[in-house]
């Protein structure tokens, strides 16, 4: 005997859970956005980042001076009308150098994180989706990579190639992916046994399509959060390498290399502003990325209302 | 338990093996071969070949790897390319005590500051002190440690004159503990800040988790004083997982020593690494990388074993 009589249908479409009062269901992105803007620190961070990105793009227009022009008579000029944030030990305008430095820091941060997220997601997706020996091999490799204090490998690779923006992007990308791969693997491990994935497998959808079209979109939340926090981390690491003289090379300004010549007695004694501003620029930017990352984490978390 | 310790120790071996393989591969990426740096470029071709033969540079790559690994296991890390005639292990072991001293003191500082802050934050959850501690933690994560070091030197050494600007001891004076401590405070504090934020947040969330447990409610219901409940019943259980984070902190501690030792001219392996990087002294760089990573593996191993020892609830 058939379960349903003739002419009897199951009314799924009018089910109240799915269609409440005939209104269109709220889009996921809208819900996330609304949760995000409730977090004040995250909003402040996001606005700050938009301003910094704007300043970096329009550095040529905004900068009051040529960042590399040395006005030796004005060296170590205190903050004032002509040099809003003072001048460095070669008489270059600190504000202009900070604006151009923002370009370098943001480009290195965004591009290398894009690379490391790509590698990490690919490795994590393969490990998590296929499991078994492939998973074991990839994850043991990740264990090895995580055991290296990363600054050692970064410095060694930088010394092998010429330190430049592209070298830095390359080394940060190839050493920065391990955290993301663990995260994505975890997501895939839980998602691959969901009913909708089993259903997709049953009707013969190829693996790559299941990975990219069906599982990956559901793992995007943690990936975006990890990318946001990652950019802050790379900016911090880039500034340290550049400070050590192993990153961006002068005269190209970067927030890290601007501090290179700050550790001398006369400067520390009389020109407090010179070491101060580049450090604050790094601090605020990394802080903003962390605020936004935390805000996104809460916004993506369905348990947090 | 013994079983677990043995199993856990055996797991560390393939990890160490992997570390040496990756290090060796990276070393092979170095442009040119070591002879280019060691030998007079005017040398005759036959003599160069003889040198290569002598140092085994013509051997197949896996033979070179196992020779290198075998030497390393015997404590022979080769010779420095720059300081000719000095073995790498001599260089490293002369500097290692300074770095270990710095790391031990920083670890103690990090725990002494972070754990009380984490507990305070947890017990005053969502009150003013919790917010202040949270903001300080955020600042701690975002502050570049080299800049923080510079600012501390500027304020406390140059302007206030409380601490020396760098080094391990006052030049020309004989060894004294007080002098050593005087030189240690700033660099150890800067190195400690790198992980204090994470440690504070971790202690806070563990403490909050524990304070929600039934046995804490029972203790309160029985009329124990608040402090006794928190410190006697709560703290013990909240601190056990903190042991494991010690293992996670190690890579950034060892890596952070490069920056901190450079700023404070602290003659440890971090400063040795920094100098070797500028001189392209690859044997020194590789040796420090392998030793540093081995310390990380060892630290994680110890942390995992301690965790098993302290937490009887976990069965293995």
Band (pLDDT 50/70/90 cuts) for residue A259 is confident
A149 part of contact set with chain B, CB < 8 Å: yes
**What share of chain A in percent tops pLDDT 90?**
25
pLDDT at A172: 92
Task: Please identify among residues 220-259 of chain A the ones whose CB lies closer than 8 Å to any CB of chain B.
Answer: 232, 236, 239-240, 243-246, 256, 259
* pLDDT value of residue B47: 72
In the prediction, which pLDDT does A1 show?
A: 46
Give the residue from chain A lying closest to B283, CA to CA. Answer: A156
pLDDT of residue A117: 95
A240 to B255: CB separation less than 8 angstroms, yes or no: no
* pLDDT > 80? residue B167: no
The confidence score (pLDDT) of residue A24 equals 64
Q: Which residue has the higher pLDDT, B44 or B282?
A: B282
* B contacts of A140 (beta carbons < 8 Å): 14-15, 18
- Could you report the predicted ipTM of this complex, rounded to two decimals? 0.83
Q: What domains, with CATH codes, occur in chain B? A: 95-240+259-269 (1.10.3720.10)
Chosen from B10, B14, B92, B147 to mutate, greatest number of chain A CBs within 10 A:
B147
Find, in chain A, the residue whose alpha carbon is nearest to that of B271.
A244
Residue A16's pLDDT is: 46
Read off the pLDDT of residues B192-203 as tens digits, 9 standing for 90 and up: 887 888 888 888
The answer to whether B144 contacts A153, with C-beta atoms less than 8 Å apart, is no
Question: How is domain A28-300 classified at the architecture level of CATH?
Answer: Orthogonal Bundle (1.10)
Whole-angstrom Cα distance, residue A289 to residue A286?
5
Least CB–CB distance from A144: residue in B18, B143, B158: B18
pTM of the model: 0.84
Indicate the range of A289-303, B2-16, B153-167 predicted with least confidence.
B153-167
Query: CB A140 to CB B144 under 8 A?
Result: no
Average pLDDT, rounded, for chain B: 82
- Considering only CB atoms, A272 lies closest to which of B146, B154, B297, namely B154
> Using one digit for the tens of pLDDT, what is the confidence trace for B118-152?
888 888 878 888 888 888 888 888 899 889 998 88
**Max mean pLDDT range (B69-78, B174-183, B255-264, B305-314):** B255-264
3-state DSSP call for residue B164? coil
Smallest Cβ distance to A259: which of B143, B147, B286? B147
Q: How far is the C-alpha of B69 from the C-alpha of B49, rounded, in Å? A: 24
Q: Where are the domains of chain A?
A: 28-300
């Amino acid at each position: 005997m058939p379960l349903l009589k003739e002419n009897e249908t199951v009314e799924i479409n009018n089910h109240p859970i799915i269609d409440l009062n005939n209104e269109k269901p709220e889009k996921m992105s809208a819900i996330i956005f609304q949760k995000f803007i409730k977090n004040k620190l995250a909003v402040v961070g996001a606005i700050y980042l938009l301003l910094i990105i704007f300043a970096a793009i329009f550095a040529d227009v905004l900068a009051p001076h040529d960042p590399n022009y040395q006005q030796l008579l004005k060296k170590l000029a205190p903050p004032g009308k002509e040099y809003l944030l003072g001048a460095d030990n070669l008489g270059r305008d600190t504000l202009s150098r900070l604006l151009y430095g923002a370009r370098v820091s943001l480009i290195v941060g965004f591009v290398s994180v894009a690379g490391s997220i790509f590698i990490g997601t690919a490795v994590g997706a393969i490990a998590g989706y296929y499991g078994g020996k492939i998973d074991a091999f990839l994850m043991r490799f990740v264990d090895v990579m995580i055991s290296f204090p990363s600054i050692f490998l970064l410095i060694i690779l930088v010394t092998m190639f010429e330190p430049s923006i592209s070298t830095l992007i390359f080394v940060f990308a190839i050493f920065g992916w391990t955290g993301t791969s663990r995260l994505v693997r975890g997501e895939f491990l839980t998602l691959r046994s969901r009913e909708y994935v089993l259903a997709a497998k049953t009707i013969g959808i190829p693996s790559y399509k299941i990975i990219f079209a069906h599982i990956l979109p559901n793992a995007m939340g943690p990936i975006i959060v990890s990318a946001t926090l990652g950019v802050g981390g790379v900016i911090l690491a880039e500034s340290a390498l550049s400070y050590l003289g192993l990153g961006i090379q002068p005269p190209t300004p970067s927030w890290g290399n601007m501090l290179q010549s700050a550790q001398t007695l006369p400067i520390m004694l009389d020109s407090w502003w010179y070491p101060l501003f580049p450090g604050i620029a790094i601090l605020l930017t990394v802080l903003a990325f962390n605020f936004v990352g935390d805000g996104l984490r809460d916004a993506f978390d369905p348990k947090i209302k | 338990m013994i079983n677990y310790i043995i199993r856990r120790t055996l797991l560390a071996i393939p990890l160490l093996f992997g570390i040496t393989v990756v290090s060796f591969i990276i070393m092979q990426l170095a442009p040119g071969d070591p002879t280019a740096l060691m030998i007079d470029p005017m040398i005759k071709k036959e003599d160069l070949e003889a040198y290569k033969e002598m140092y085994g540079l013509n051997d197949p790559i896996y033979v070179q790897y196992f020779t290198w690994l075998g030497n390393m296991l015997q404590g022979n890390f080769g010779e420095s390319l720059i300081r000719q005639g000095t073995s790498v292990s001599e260089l490293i072991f002369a500097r290692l005590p300074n770095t270990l001293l710095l790391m031990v003191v920083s670890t103690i500082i990090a725990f002494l500051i972070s754990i009380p802050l984490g507990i305070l934050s947890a017990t005053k959850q969502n009150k003013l002190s919790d917010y202040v501690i949270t903001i300080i933690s955020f600042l701690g994560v975002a502050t570049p440690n080299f800049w923080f070091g510079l600012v501390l030197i500027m304020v406390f050494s140059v302007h206030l004159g409380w601490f020396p600007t760098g080094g391990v001891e006052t030049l020309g004076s004989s060894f004294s503990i007080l002098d050593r401590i005087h030189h240690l405070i700033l660099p150890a504090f800067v190195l400690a800040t790198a992980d204090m934020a994470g440690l504070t947040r971790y202690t806070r969330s563990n403490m909050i988790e524990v304070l929600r447990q039934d046995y804490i409610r029972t203790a309160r219901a029985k009329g124990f004083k608040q402090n006794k409940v928190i410190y006697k019943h709560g703290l013990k259980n909240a601190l056990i997982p903190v042991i494991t984070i010690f293992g996670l902190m190690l890579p950034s501690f060892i890596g952070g020593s490069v920056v901190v030792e450079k700023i404070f001219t602290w003659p440890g392996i971090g400063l040795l690494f920094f100098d070797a990087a500028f001189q392209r002294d690859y044997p020194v760089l590789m040796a420090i990388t392998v030793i540093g990573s081995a310390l990380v593996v060892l630290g994680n191993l110890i942390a995992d074993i301690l965790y098993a020892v302290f937490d009887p609830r976990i069965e293995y």
